């Protein structure tokens, strides 16, 4: 049997070992911690399986360390207890015989052996255990050859995949997520089983599904995961709007590009430059309005008129359905989807100062992310065209910097406030106050006056005069 005592460097293992000896109860470190050790990845949690009662074992270990009982999180229904110790969440669970139950409403917790517990785990690479018991401390217990799968970069279920996935259908998403994060392939039977059971994803909560999608989006090459979701039919069931981007129509020999693969290319490019999850969502969803706006116009070809507007309007509904946060993150994605054509439109015309100012005003602090998205959106296979567009983007970037330095539009604060207008003309909040403020903002954005107090004050006076208002002395 392989010995891997070098895994057991964290202080908790000595404590658990001592408890195991005292109580004469076998226990093991299992799952993600063992896998991550072999992958040389850092773990945030340690899972300990106890052949007996996990909760009383956790209490004993906590007592030894001096952790008060109130700091132990106990989940009686699941037979688990958890505390934080030296930078790690340490979770204790009694070995169970039944299928994986941690998310079902009525868990059946029946005591079992280590092998029973390993049987009901998701993948062979997550089912390895290392003994913390006196008799074989440090022994690797790997009944499904998880270490070989780790070395051969394979995701495979320990049991028949139909059983493993039916126990918890989220595991279908987990298989794809691990495959994308680790760049592993999914074993043929395991993949076939996902495809045949994909329907069952509907019983899993949106929150758990989205957690996996988020991890896919933040992987080095998220397109791998989304393509696997597509081939297993999970895409259609979890992200129908993205699935609808697929396909190419041809009219009179004119084809448009496949917007699904285009979006994946944009997403992969974004990931090379940023690990902002919300920018990844914006990349994935930037063309989401295209299926609804697709038209073939004679003499023109394929058009997706106003797809940015239609797409931006879809974002709140998508976020609501996916149980993503309905806060400033959603507003950010919506804004980037809405603005994603603006920089390219700028470079197709001549780059006027006022167009740049308006873009800065609309994008605000998200201008750099918007520029990244727009550059990533260039997926043409014509190298000359790509070179030309990217060179033009450089010009826009220079112009953006130049104008921002001069006019400070990015975090635009009106140089004249509504209060000042009301005080100057002794008026109440009214339509006129809004009209004067608008006129000042428009004049600044058009470059008619500089973004400065004195110039704005003069304009306020002349605009007020047009409205028949006179300043009080
Ligand atoms: N597990 C499982 N089925 C699930 C979730 C988890 O069998 N649906 C098991 C696996 O053995 C896994 C362990 O529980 O290794 C811990 O799960 P979790 O903490 O969710 O994931 P990790 O494997 O640690 O990976 P990550 O932290 O990347 O999510």
Domain extent listing, the chain: 5-152, 159-238, 418-466
* C-beta of residue 88 within 8 angstroms of C-beta of residue 113: no
For the cut 60, the answer to whether the pLDDT of residue 57 exceeds it is: yes
Q: Are 20 and 12 in contact (CB under 8 A)?
A: no
Strands 73-75, 80-85: pairing kind: antiparallel
pLDDT at 106: 54
The Å distance, Cα 62 to ligand 1 centre, comes to: 23
Name the pLDDT band for 78 (thresholds 50, 70, 90).
Answer: confident
Q: What does the pLDDT look like over 235-270, one tens digit per residue?
A: 999 999 999 999 888 888 888 889 999 999 999 999
Q: How far is residue 78's CA from residue 55's CA, in Å, rounded to a whole number?
A: 10
Q: How confident is the model at residue 3 (pLDDT cuts 50, 70, 90)?
A: confident
C-alpha separations of 10 from 6, 44, 135 in Å: 10, 12, 20
* Mean pLDDT on 402-421: 89
CA of 123 to the centre of ligand 1 (A): 9
Q: What is the mean pLDDT of the chain?
A: 93
Least confident of 109-118, 199-208, 442-451: 109-118
Instruction: Out of 1.10.357.10, 3.40.50.620, 3.30.460.10, 3.10.450.50, select the CATH number for domain 5-152.
Output: 3.30.460.10
Contacts of 299 (CB under 8 A, 6+ apart): none
The model's pLDDT over 198-208, given as tens digits with 9 standing for 90+, comes to: 999 999 999 99
Ligand 1 and 170: CB distance under 6 A: yes
The model carries a pTM of: 0.91
CA atoms of 68 and 178, how far apart (whole Å): 36
Q: Which of 82, 87, 79 is nearest to 62 (CA)?
A: 82
Distance 24 CA to ligand 1 centre (A): 27
pLDDT confidence band for 77 (50 / 70 / 90): confident
Give me the pLDDT at residue 109, please: 58
pLDDT score of 348: 65
Please state the atom number of ligand 1 nearest to the C-alpha of residue 103.
8
Predicted confidence (pLDDT) per residue in 336-361, tens digit: 999 999 988 877 667 788 888 999 99
- Give pLDDT tens digits for 80-108: 999 999 999 999 999 987 654 445 545 55
Q: Whose CA is nearest to atom 25 of ligand 1?
A: 32
Nearest protein CA to atom 28 of ligand 1, as residue:
32
CATH T-level topology, domain 159-238: Hydrophobic Seed Protein (1.10.110)
- According to the model, what pLDDT value does residue 414 have? 86
- Tokens coding 211: 């957690």
| pLDDT for 16 beyond 50 | yes
* pLDDT tens sequence across 144-175: 999 999 999 999 999 999 999 999 999 999 99
Q: Give the model confidence (pLDDT) of 217-237 as tens digits.
A: 999 999 999 999 999 999 999
Of 145, 129, 146, 148, the C-alpha closest to 137 is 129
Instruction: Report the distance separating Cα 349 and Cα 399, nearest Å.
Output: 14
175 CB near ligand 1 (under 6 Å)? no
pLDDT at 105: 47
pLDDT at residue 412, rounded to an integer:
85
Torsion over CA: 271, 277, 281, 286 (sign): negative
What is the H or E stretch that residue 272 is in?
helix 259-273
Model confidence over 31-48: pLDDT tens digits? 999 999 999 999 989 999
- Cβ burial of 173 (10 Å; 0-12, 13-18, 19+) is buried
**Cβ(117) – ligand 1 distance below 6 Å:** no
Q: Is the CB of 100 under 6 A from ligand 1?
A: yes
Minimum-distance ligand 1 atom for the alpha carbon of 121: 7
Ligand 1 pocket: which of 29, 31, 39, 90 to mutate (most atoms <8 Å of CB)? 31
Question: Do the Cβ atoms of 81 and 46 come closer than 8 Å?
Answer: no
Alpha-carbon span 97 to 108, nearest angstrom: 9
From 119, 126, 180, the mutation candidate for ligand 1 (largest count of ligand atoms within 8 A of CB) is: 126
178 lines ligand 1 (CB under 6 A): no
> For 290-302, what is the mean pLDDT?
89
Task: Summarize pLDDT for 362-372 with one digit per residue, the tens.
Answer: 999 999 999 99
Q: What is the CA radius of gyration of the chain?
A: 30
- In this predicted structure, the answer to whether residue 323 has a pLDDT above a threshold of 70 is yes
Rounded Cα distance, 396 and 402, in Å:
10
DSSP code for 111: B
Q: Which pLDDT value is given to residue 108?
A: 58
How far is Cα 378 from Cα 372, in angstroms, rounded to an integer?
10
Q: Determine which helix (DSSP H) or strand (DSSP E) holds 300, and give its type and residue range.
A: none
Q: Which residues pair with 90 in a beta bridge?
A: 46, 83
Q: Is 268 in the pocket of ligand 1 (CB under 6 A)?
A: no
Spatial distance between the Cα atoms of 142 and 310, rounded to a whole number of angstroms: 52
Q: By alpha-carbon position, which residue is closest to atom 12 of ligand 1?
A: 31
pLDDT for 102 = 47
Maximum alpha-carbon separation in the chain: 95
């Amino acid at each position: 049997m392989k010995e891997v005592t070098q895994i057991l460097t964290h202080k908790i293992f000595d404590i658990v070992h001592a408890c195991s000896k005292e109580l004469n109860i076998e226990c093991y470190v299992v799952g993600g911690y063992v896998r991550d050790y072999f992958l040389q990845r850092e773990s945030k949690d340690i899972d300990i399986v106890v052949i007996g009662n996990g909760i009383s074992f956790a209490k004993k270990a906590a007592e030894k360390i001096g952790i008060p009982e109130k700091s132990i999180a106990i989940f009686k229904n699941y037979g688990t207890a958890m505390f934080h110790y030296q930078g790690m969440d340490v979770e204790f669970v009694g070995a169970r015989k039944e299928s994986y139950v941690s998310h079902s409403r009525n868990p059946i917790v029946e005591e079992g052996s280590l092998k029973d517990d390993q049987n009901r785990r998701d993948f062979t690479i997550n089912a390895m255990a290392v003994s913390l018991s006196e008799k074989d401390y440090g022994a690797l217990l790997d009944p499904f050859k998880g270490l070989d799968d780790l070395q051969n970069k394979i995701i495979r279920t320990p049991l028949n995949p139909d059983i493993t996935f039916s126990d918890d259908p989220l595991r279908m998403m987990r298989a794809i997520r691990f495959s994308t994060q680790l760049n592993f392939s999914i074993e043929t039977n395991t993949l076939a089983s996902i495809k045949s059971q994909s329907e069952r994803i509907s019983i899993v909560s949106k929150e758990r599904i989205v957690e996996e999608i988020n991890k896919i989006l933040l992987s080095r090459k998220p397109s791998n995961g989304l393509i696997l979701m597509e081939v297993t039919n999970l895409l259609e069931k979890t992200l129908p709007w993205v699935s609808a981007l697929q396909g190419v129509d041809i009219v009179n020999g004119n084809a448009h590009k496949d917007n699904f693969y285009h979006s994946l290319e944009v997403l992969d490019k974004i990931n090379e430059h940023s690990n902002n999850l919300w920018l990844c969502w914006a990349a994935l969803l930037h063309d989401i309005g295209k299926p609804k706006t697709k038209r073939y116009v004679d003499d023109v070809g394929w058009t997706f008129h106003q797809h940015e507007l239609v797409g931006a309007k879809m974002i709140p509904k998508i976020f609501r359905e996916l149980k993503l946060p309905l806060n400033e993150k959603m507003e950010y994605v919506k804004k980037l989807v809405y603005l994603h054509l603006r920089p390219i439109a700028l470079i197709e015309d001549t780059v006027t100062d006022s167009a740049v100012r308006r873009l800065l005003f609309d994008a605000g602090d998200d201008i750099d992310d918007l520029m990244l998205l727009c550059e990533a959106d260039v997926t043409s296979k014509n190298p000359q065209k790509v070179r030309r567009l990217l060179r033009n983007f450089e010009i826009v970037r220079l112009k953006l910097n130049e104008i921002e330095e001069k006019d400070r539009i990015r975090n635009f604060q009106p140089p004249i406030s509504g209060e000042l207008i009301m005080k100057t003309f002794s008026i109440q909040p009214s339509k006129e106050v809004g009209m004067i403020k608008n006129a000042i903002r428009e004049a600044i954005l058009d470059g008619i006056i500089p973004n400065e107090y004195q110039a704005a004050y003069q304009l306020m006076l002349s605009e007020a005069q047009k409205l028949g208002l006179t300043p009080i002395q």
